[in-house]
Structure 1
Amino acid sequence: MNTVTVNTAPSAEGYDRAALGRFELFLVAAVATVLITRAFLAATGYPQIGGSGGLHIAHVLWGGLLMAAAIVAVLIGDGSRVRTGAALAGGIGFGLFIDEVGKFVTADVDYFFQPAVAIMYVVFVLFYLVVREVVLRRAMSDRRRLATGVRALTDLTLEQLDDIRYQSALRALDEVRDPALAELADSIRSGLLSQPPPTGGVESRITRAIDTLTQRTAAVLGHRAVRRSVLALFVLQAVVSVVSVIVAMVADVPGDAEADDVSDLLVQLSSTVTGALVVVGVWCLLRHHYMLALRLLRASVVVGLLLTQVFLFAQEEFGALLGFAASLLLLAALSIAIRSEQAKVPAPA
């Protein structure tokens, strides 16, 4: 008789982690597809498939085909592997689709339309923010916990269930509190306990690798030296902002230093807002209001990501990727620091 070890630790997740993971896979696949496609086309001189005879097979068509295949797979397939595969294929398809957005917003069908990268950036950011908010705010009710158990039982039957999702499903069933659903929860639990899940599955190894990478990254970004370096960087930025304002007030600024177009003006305005938040945050830091300072500094990074970065992508296209990556690292470091400070506050009785 096989013995199954059940992790009875309470689950701290109030949302469907699997659903959010599939969406993140979709989004990462889409972003990676755009970057790889643009790099490949630039390296090969932008070849055209079917360019002879007046025909041109745009890769947006392949993107639509992959998205259609992902939808059909979800409609007719069973098990988590189908949903994961559909997320990957749909993400690649969406990346091929959105990569040609410049052709569909210009009268001359211009693939190289400069603001196209900014449009993609806005779509990806809004997509992530909206879907993540929907998933996190969707209550994990008892019936949803039962549905999680049923999906796990289906995957177990199809030999697609890894041990991580197996333990997660058992914890979800343990958290069912409605007496009317207790018998059904026990039945599903008995089905899961009837046989152990396959060990060492691909999904399980990937999940463990991602968790390990996340924990090590958080440990590095949460280190005291890294935190002090980040705060020193913001102090330097605050000093530069104040000095720039003083110089602008006392110096005779020539006319050609004004914004040349609306995009430049908006970059200046959003940068001003970001600089003001940084200055106030550093002032709070010097006044020993540490938590408020961290929140203001994080707000400055968020404003930069949601506003300034959009116009930088419009102006510099993929040249703005380095600044975007640096902003993400700063945001992660500040978020970890805020969580660390919150953990020091004792919970109310």
Structure 2
Amino acid sequence: MPLRVLEAPSYLQAFVLSGVVTVLVTRAFLQAAGYPRLGGGGLHIAHVLWGGVLMTAGLGVALVYLGSAARILGAVLGGIGFGLFIDEVGKFVTAGTDYFYAPAAGIIYGAFALLVVISQAIRGRIRLSGPERTANALYAVVGGLRSGLTDDRRAAAARLVRGCGPDVEEGVARLLNVVPRREAPGPRFWQPWLSRARRAMVWVTTHRWVVSLVVLYLIGEPFVVVSSFLLDTVTGQWHDQREWGAVLGVSIAALITAVLSIRGAWLLPRDRVRAFRLFKLALLVDLLFGQIFSFTVNQFGALSALAVDLFLLGVVTAEHRRLCRRAPAPDR
């Protein structure tokens, strides 16, 4: 079995984020520019071709060069290429090569949602064996031969081989002594903004009234969606709706979310840990199932609802973790 890379979740995260940003920027630019055609004389160079070039370039960087920097660059180039590729998925699944095919937005969202699930699953399951830890420590050494390693990177490499045997620990320590030392880089321009965002999120999740509002929203919002669907069905508002299947999918997801939220609310006075676990599950159902159909119905206008869901998931997850930390340990 091939040896696994410890930083694989970070590479996948870079791939997904660069792909998502590429799709959003591409859609915004094309709409602002009036969907121009690149080419002439009956030719049109679709941006899916540029996506293929960039995915090839990303793969080439990862195959040719060593070190984490090359892996990150390859992931970003590959993500941009994948974003340009998946943005034109409507042309590949329709006989008339329809870029504006309505379910395309849902397919794009579903593809990235699946990649996020995979990256999170890998992040939670990476438990490296002794040989894998040794290989990753040596990989860190190789990556620092040219530009050097900071003290933090050295310490991390030494920790990786701890418990792998005295010969391995001594060998890696000698190699680390050969690698040039490098000062830790200064803070990136985006790090202060990220720190502020984290502090703001912590501030929000520590206020009980915010958590209460989130719970009320989780209970009430699915009922609004289902009621709106039933009302529009009775009044005939869906007569001209072309994506009936997607509308039905949104309603089913809302119904499941409502059931889970009601169950969570019923448990709230007695078992807050289980209640917030159900609230979290309700949001995940909407994010991984309902939003796919929501993007089909509302196209990229569903981004605002997605942002709300992600904020709610952050608040609910933080509260669930706080409750788990405070919960008494089970008797053995």
TM-score (norm: length of structure 2): 0.86
In structure 2, the gaps of 5 or more residues are none
Greater CA drift, 96-105 or 189-198: 189-198
**SS in structure 1 at match of 2:318:** helix
Could you tell me which residue of structure 1 aligns to residue 266 of structure 2? Answer: 283
1:228 aligns with 2:216: no
Cα deviation for residue 218 of structure 1 reads 4.8
Could you tell me which residue of structure 2 aligns to residue 308 of structure 1? Answer: 290
Could you tell me which residue of structure 2 aligns to residue 294 of structure 1? Answer: 276
Q: Write out per-residue CA displacement over residues 284-332 of structure 1, whole angstroms, 9 at most, x where no aligned residue.
A: 11x2311011111111111111111111100111100011011011111
* CA RMSD of superposed structures (Å): 3.1
1:37 aligns with 2:22: no
Could you tell me which residue of structure 2 aligns to residue 271 of structure 1? Answer: 254
1:142 aligns with 2:123: no
Identical pairs, percent: 34
1:28 aligns with 2:17: yes
In the aligned structure 2, how far is the partner of 1:62 from the partner of 1:248? 41
Cα deviation for residue 116 of structure 1 reads 0.6
Could you tell me which residue of structure 1 aligns to residue 64 of structure 2? Answer: 76
Could you tell me which residue of structure 1 aligns to residue 175 of structure 2? Answer: 191
**SS in structure 1 at match of 2:127:** coil
What is the aligned counterpart of 2:234 among 254, 272, 275?
254
For residues 69 and 299 of structure 1, do their structure 2 counterparts lie closer, same or farther at Cα, with a shift above 3 Å needed?
Answer: same
In the aligned structure 2, how far is the partner of 1:205 from the partner of 1:167? 22
For residues 149 and 241 of structure 1, do their structure 2 counterparts lie closer, same or farther at Cα, with a shift above 3 Å needed?
Answer: closer
Cα deviation for residue 221 of structure 1 reads 4.1
Amino acid at match of 2:249: L
Amino acid at match of 1:34: V
Say if 2:148 and 2:179, in contact at 8 Å, map to a contact too: no
In the aligned structure 2, how far is the partner of 1:301 from the partner of 1:345? 23
1:109 aligns with 2:91: no
Could you tell me which residue of structure 1 aligns to residue 316 of structure 2? Answer: 334
In the aligned structure 2, how far is the partner of 1:96 from the partner of 1:325? 22
Cα deviation for residue 230 of structure 1 reads 3.0
For residues 288 and 228 of structure 1, do their structure 2 counterparts lie closer, same or farther at Cα, with a shift above 3 Å needed?
Answer: farther
Say if 1:79 and 1:158, in contact at 8 Å, map to a contact too: no
The number of aligned residues is 324
In the aligned structure 2, how far is the partner of 1:189 from the partner of 1:80? 20
**SS in structure 2 at match of 1:33:** helix
Q: How does 1:159-238 map to 2 (within 5 A)?
A: 159=147, 161-174=149-162, 177-179=163-165, 182-194=166-178, 197-201=181-185, 205=188, 212=195, 215-216=198-199, 218-223=201-206, 225=207, 227-238=208-219
Cα deviation for residue 47 of structure 1 reads 1.1
TM-score (norm: length of structure 1): 0.83
Say if 2:87 and 2:108, in contact at 8 Å, map to a contact too: yes
Q: Write out per-residue CA displacement over residues 211-239 of structure 1, whole angstroms, 9 at most, x where no aligned residue.
A: 8467535523432x1x5323333225535
